[in-house]
Structure 1
Amino acid sequence: MALAPLAPQLMPADLPPSGCADRWPWLQQLRSQPELDAEPWLAALEAGILRADQDLLAVLAERLDPPAQLRLLRWWRQQPDPDPGLPSQVLRHRDGASAAWLLEQLAPGPGALGSPLPLSALPLSALPLSALPQVVSAALLPLLGHQRQVAAWPVLLCWLEAPIATPLRRAALEGVARGLSVWPRSQLVEGLSALASDLDPQLAAPAVDLLARLPGARRALVPLRRRRLDPRVAERLGRRLAATPAQPLLLVVHGRAGGQLPAELVALAAELECRRGAPVRLQALSAAAPPPASELLQPGQVLGLVPLLLLPGGHVRHDLPAIVRHWSAFARVQHWPFLGAWPRWQAALAMELAGLAMQDARPLLLHHPLEGPLAARYLTTLERRTGAHCIATPYSAEHLAELKLTLAAPALTAPALPLALAANRLTDQLVEQVGPPLLQRPGLRQLLLAELEALP
């Protein structure tokens, strides 16, 4: 059986001119060719034989491999009046060479040229992108983000934060949006949060939208409510928060004898419930029974369980797993590490201690005695991060009386802080020497409220 003859290759010289009735059917035929050699087409564009018309590029772009698309971009870069729509039409692949070329073009940033020669005296290829028309920079910035290379993050951030024309900053923000999942999370949240306060609502509002797309978006969105935002941006923030309602929270606390809850913990839970718009309940380890599930949960809800405990003692190691098992019978439980392990809490504790510190006197942290290697490692870490010296302090009457006399001695110059969230026997007995518990200190209370409010 004879093979069917191969269809003749369509060549650039055969392309009907723009406006000709035969041009569209001819391009459709070119598109349907099983194989297309891009070389003669690229050579014709580079030689000026063909114009880079949109309809021709729509056909060619589908058939270009990464080296060919980069070759076309380099040609485009040399044009005196480059078409800003060509890069997005041509650059369809993610590949290392294209990403490196984009980074090379944009890495100089939007700064001044810094050359003693007038722009007209320099070849176009020698000009940094900031010296080219804005439309050229704006065409490449989104594509840089589309390549999803971590190295592009500082470049995009530089363009985003620079005092330059708004279209360029919007193009940089689009680049950030295209590669959103690969940027360093903490830097991304910081950059977008700052942008949410921008004077241009067309930059600020998309920044809020991008923060809302991140996992655990409430942690990034809630702090924005305390900033001065454009009214339209604040309204959008409200809608994004409404779309991510807070889950009920159970705060596990130590409590006092008989399950009594200190007033500062009750006030914290009440204010937190108002802020979150969702139930917040306290479960005291000293109580006989947990709160009823019907007061806290509705069917299908996830329960956030937060241990407001400051040390990795027996309650954290043994009681908490049992509490999680209990609540797992009613809901899917998302439980968080104990409060004392939170880096932001430790940083806030260090600031509180720094405010108490005296010259040449290392502050003291008075804590309940702990046992085991885990506790020893934790206390060593806490001392390193806070600059304090941790002292085990039993709650026995004899020990507290002795400690009261020691702390009151004139020779003792080191300030002391009780490692107790709410009032207990330690703070009751030593209030004159160590002051109130941590939740009665405004800075620490506000930090804890903000952190708990931002939880999912």
Structure 2
Amino acid sequence: MLVPAALPPPGSPERWPWLQRLRRQDNPDCGVWIEALERGQLEPAVDLLTVLAGRLDGAGSDRLLAWWLATAGDPDLLPLIGRVRTPRSAALLRQAVNERTAPEQRLPLLPLLGHQRDPIDYPLLARLSLEAGPLPLRRAALEGLALGLSAWPLAALRRQLLSLAGDLQPQLASQAVDLLARLPRGRWALFPLTRRPLDPLVGQRLRRRWAALPPSPLLLIVHGRAGGVIPGELQNLASELERLRGRPVRIQALTAQAPPSPASFGTPAGSADLQPWLTLVPLFLLPGSHVRIDVPAIATAWRAHGPVRRLPFLGAWPSWQRALAAELAAMVQVQDGSADSGPEAPLLLHHPLEDGLGARYLVHLQSVTQARCLPTPYTAADLQEIKLAIHPGALPLALAANRLTESLPEQLGMPLVERPRFRQLLVRELEALP
């Protein structure tokens, strides 16, 4: 058995072959080596710790880290010592960071603290990377965030990195751009920066990262009108998105006899160059049979040509529901105090749905929007029948023009996609899709 006392001294030609034998030894007793370090019988040289760290289990790594922290060892050795992720190592590093307030003492600890990937450490690392302080300390905290990237709360991390991307220190801002690109839906995470003034060097980094995340083609699934006619406002939306994304955007109408051809997307059928090959966007506002039956069948058919990402139906998007609430609130505010205003909540007029999922969705929508959902057949052209006169506002749950909006144009106004709030939301969200 190889023992610490037999280790050749630094500089000896026999030392490295001896350490290689230690590295290849079956089940070495690492405890005796750590004990020799603790007693000062061995010099904590890089070559020894490189070999020893690769053979340690969790308990041994914890013990070695505790020794280093107790002796305030060489900072260059710390990355070799704190490799193993254990609750004990995380607690030791956390305690040391809190106790050592001098920046130079914290610098080597912060990356390893992030390497432990314990979500409890995110607030500290985020704060130190953002707040005014020595640049090396902020960079060390950001390196810790980078090493534990997948462990942090995603929404908070995205907000923090977006803020950091506008920092006065281009080095920090550029690294924040890199980390945003590594997040899930990296293109969506980077999108807000494309509308902001940035430092020129950071802007160059953003353009490179943005170009490295090309979006997939979009297929907008809509109901359509008789004979497969697609309303002009939806065609205009598709054209604008195609211009903004630089990738094909097509529309498939349920009432049409045939879908767009795969060749119209400019990507050969079966190509795996883009993952996914296509993104399906169901532009339906209610979870009716089209969403539950037709859309899954359409997705299955398109998967014959390559990987497909299918988004939830539009009415399920929290951002869309918030937009409905804001639109209704604005309508009520405009009419507030008028002689026609009544005490009842505003109305959301929708196509009748079956009980079950549809009924549960409507209850949720009423809770979010503070409106009353009223099933309205498309033949309801009589104002008394839908009781519009006694309500402060009514909004049709119709994305594009249909029989309901055409039968009551003065009372209901424009369909949703023609209203600025909803059109801007669609363009913003769909432009940013991966």
Residue pairs, 1:281-360, within 5 angstroms: 281-299=250-268, 300=271, 302-358=277-333
Q: 1:261 to 1:30 in 2, by over 3 A?
A: closer
* Distance in 2 separating the partners of 1:346 and 1:267: 23
Equivalence for 1:450: 428
* Distance in 1 separating the partners of 2:292 and 2:134: 56
CA contact (8 A) 1:404 1:430 kept: no
CA contact (8 A) 1:150 1:183 kept: yes
Question: Does the alignment pair 1:91 with 2:91?
Answer: no
CA contact (8 A) 2:331 2:392 kept: no
The one-letter code sitting in structure 2 at the alignment partner of 1:454 is A
Q: For 1:93, what is the secondary structure of its paired residue? A: coil
C-alpha offsets along residues 367-412 of structure 1, whole Å, 9 cap, x if unaligned? 111123111111111111121111111111xx212358842x3xx2
Deviation at 1:199? 2.0
* Distance in 2 separating the partners of 1:68 and 1:311: 58
CA contact (8 A) 2:8 2:14 kept: no
Question: Does the alignment pair 1:162 with 2:131?
Answer: yes
Q: 1:67 to 1:389 in 2, by over 3 A?
A: same
* Distance in 2 separating the partners of 1:252 and 1:63: 56
* Distance in 2 separating the partners of 1:280 and 1:441: 21
Structure 2 counterpart of 1:382, from 365, 372, 380? 365
Q: For 2:349, what is the secondary structure of its paired residue? A: strand
Equivalence for 1:402: 383
Give 1 or 2 for the bigger CA radius of gyration. 1
Deviation at 1:276? 0.8
* Distance in 1 separating the partners of 2:377 and 2:130: 53
* Distance in 2 separating the partners of 1:62 and 1:402: 79
Deviation at 1:37? 5.3
> Which range moved further: 142-151 or 180-189?
180-189
Q: For 2:280, what is the secondary structure of its paired residue? A: strand
Deviation at 1:420? 1.0
C-alpha offsets along residues 210-248 of structure 1, whole Å, 9 cap, x if unaligned? 222233322212232112222222222222222221111
Q: 1:39 to 1:372 in 2, by over 3 A?
A: closer
* Distance in 1 separating the partners of 2:96 and 2:330: 49
Question: Does the alignment pair 1:228 with 2:220?
Answer: no
Question: Does the alignment pair 1:181 with 2:150?
Answer: yes
Structure 2 counterpart of 1:76, from 68, 71, 86? 68
| Unaligned residue ranges in structure 2 (runs of 5+) | 337-342
TM-score scaled by length of structure 1:
0.82
* Distance in 1 separating the partners of 2:384 and 2:77: 77
Deviation at 1:344? 1.8
CA contact (8 A) 2:280 2:309 kept: yes
* Distance in 1 separating the partners of 2:161 and 2:107: 19
Q: 1:315 to 1:42 in 2, by over 3 A?
A: closer
Q: CA RMSD in A?
A: 2.7
* Distance in 2 separating the partners of 1:221 and 1:327: 28
* Distance in 1 separating the partners of 2:427 and 2:34: 62
CA contact (8 A) 1:250 1:280 kept: yes
The one-letter code sitting in structure 2 at the alignment partner of 1:373 is G
Deviation at 1:311? 0.9
The one-letter code sitting in structure 2 at the alignment partner of 1:310 is L
Q: 1:31 to 1:283 in 2, by over 3 A?
A: closer
Structure 1 counterpart of 2:207, from 195, 213, 238? 238
Residue pairs, 1:46-195, within 5 angstroms: 46=38, 51-79=43-71, 82-106=73-97, 108=98, 128-130=99-101, 132=102, 134-195=103-164
CA contact (8 A) 1:82 1:136 kept: no
> Which range moved further: 265-274 or 161-170?
161-170
* Distance in 2 separating the partners of 1:63 and 1:336: 47
* Distance in 2 separating the partners of 1:332 and 1:339: 21
Deviation at 1:422? 1.5
| Unaligned residue ranges in structure 1 (runs of 5+) | 1-5, 109-127
C-alpha offsets along residues 240-287 of structure 1, whole Å, 9 cap, x if unaligned? 222221111111112233333222211111110011110001122233
* Distance in 2 separating the partners of 1:67 and 1:319: 56
Q: 1:93 to 1:435 in 2, by over 3 A?
A: same
Equivalence for 2:340: none
Residue pairs, 1:6-85, within 5 angstroms: 9-11=3-5, 16=9, 21-22=11-12, 25-26=14-15, 28-30=17-19, 32-33=21-22, 34=25, 42=34, 45-46=37-38, 51-79=43-71, 82-85=73-76
CA contact (8 A) 2:332 2:392 kept: yes
* Distance in 1 separating the partners of 2:215 and 2:139: 31
